[in-house]
Amino acid sequence: MSTGLTAQQIEQFTELGYLMVPDVFTDDEIQPLRDEITDVIDGAARRMLAEGKISQTWEQEPFETRLTRLYNECDEILPPIVGRAGGGHSGPAFFEFISNKSLLAKIGSLVGPEIIGSSVYRIRPKMPGYAKGAVPWHQDSGYFSPHCDKDLIVTCWIPLVDTYPENGCLQVLPKAHREGVSRHFTNGPGGFLVIEEQDLPVPGPEAVTVPVPAGGVLLMTNLTPHCSSQHEKDVVRWAVDVRYQSADVPNNIGEVPADYSEERPTHEIACYPPEADFVLQSPAQPEMVVDSWHAFHEIRQRFENERPPGPRRGWVPAETAQA
């Protein structure tokens, strides 16, 4: 029986803007996704071996280290993995993972029973020397359209391995989600949006480092500032970030990219138009629920080749703002 969050957990999430819940996934529920990611790595490694770019496919290495071995030999291993295993990845194990009943029960406690999978999900490997592994201070709303700033989109950060400060777990700023959206710059480390130190909500509480075990979930609001730093351990800190919202929050359910129009009222424009949202739970309209991997894959593929433009928030590079 899948249970929702306790009243105390809901209160912590509401007060602090984050909540770590251990043991949401069993190891048996995580392993198929590790295997699916391994298949992507395997395909890329075999191609690179055939092209003479690496000495071996390192298939004896465990999930936590194989990518570091391949990456040390040739950094071309990453695009096929990060490209496909990011928002472009919509495999069967990933669908099972994102529609996990135990996780949806907890999300339901925060957004209600009508649950939409937000279009923005990513699979992130982090390892020494990979600049895009670490993500600087930001709020997820920095990436969403401004008309969704007052809505709740719950970020679930779910590591596939145990995470702790030494392998780059996340840091959050408690209570700062009450201060609205901070100024972001477009040219942060790794090419990510960044909130510079002086723009973080002040007077701010101290940042908190949140170790999360494999199977646990760090829940955050879209306004919770968070970041993760580089690490130097010889392991890959694999994590997945997925997001959920209520059906009341703007979305692009039932649309194709050609339907996108800036002329529509904002409540009819998705919070992140370039990728496809999908219904995961709906007592009101059960026929809308995406209940198979094939349906999920088809919806995601619709937005693969032709994408509506991303949100325009007016963020600029730091130099431009200071000039």
Ligand X SMILES: O=C(O)CCC(=O)C(=O)O
Residues lying near ligand X in the complex (CB under 6 A): 124, 126, 135, 140, 155, 157, 226, 228, 239, 241
Minimal distance in Å, beta carbon 3 to ligand X? 25
Could you give the angle at which helices 101-111 and 7-16 cross, rounded to 10 degrees? 60
Task: Say how far apart CA 217 and CA 258 lie, in whole Å.
Answer: 35
The DSSP result for 253-281, as a single string, is TT--GGG--TTS-GGGS-SSTTS--EEEE
- What's the rounded Cα separation, in Å, for the pair 270 and 48? 38
Least separation in angstroms between CB 292 and ligand X:
26
Between residues 12 and 139, which has the closer beta carbon with respect to ligand X? 139
Minimum distance from residue 159 beta carbon to ligand X (Å): 8
Q: Write down the least CB distance from residue 131 to ligand X, Å.
A: 12
Cis status, amide bond into 203, omega within 30 of 0? yes
Q: Which is nearer to ligand X, 112 or 189 (CB)?
A: 189
- 8 A C-beta contact, residue 280 and residue 117: yes
Please report how close the Cβ of residue 184 comes to ligand X at its closest, in angstroms.
12
Nearer to ligand X, 114 or 140 (CB): 140
> 140 or 275: whose CB is closer to ligand X?
140
Q: Rg of the chain's alpha carbons, rounded to an integer?
A: 19
CB 275 within 8 A of CB 243: no
When the beta carbons of 240 and 247 are compared against ligand X, the nearer one is 240
Judged by beta carbon, residue 57 or residue 228, the one nearer ligand X is 228
Question: Looking at residue 79, what DSSP letter applies?
Answer: I
Hey, which bits of 134-238 come out as E strands? 135-138, 153-159, 170-172, 208-210, 217-220, 226-228
Q: Closest approach of Cβ 69 to ligand X, in Å?
A: 21
Q: CA-CA distance, 277 to 300, in Å (whole number)?
A: 8
Q: What is the closest distance, in whole angstroms, from the C-beta atom of residue 56 to ligand X in the complex?
A: 28
Question: Closest CB to ligand X among 100 and 155?
Answer: 155
User: Do β-strands 278-281 and 122-124 pair in parallel, antiparallel, or remain unpaired?
Assistant: unpaired
The torsion angle over the Cα atoms of residues 297, 298, 302 and 303, rounded to 10 degrees, is -10
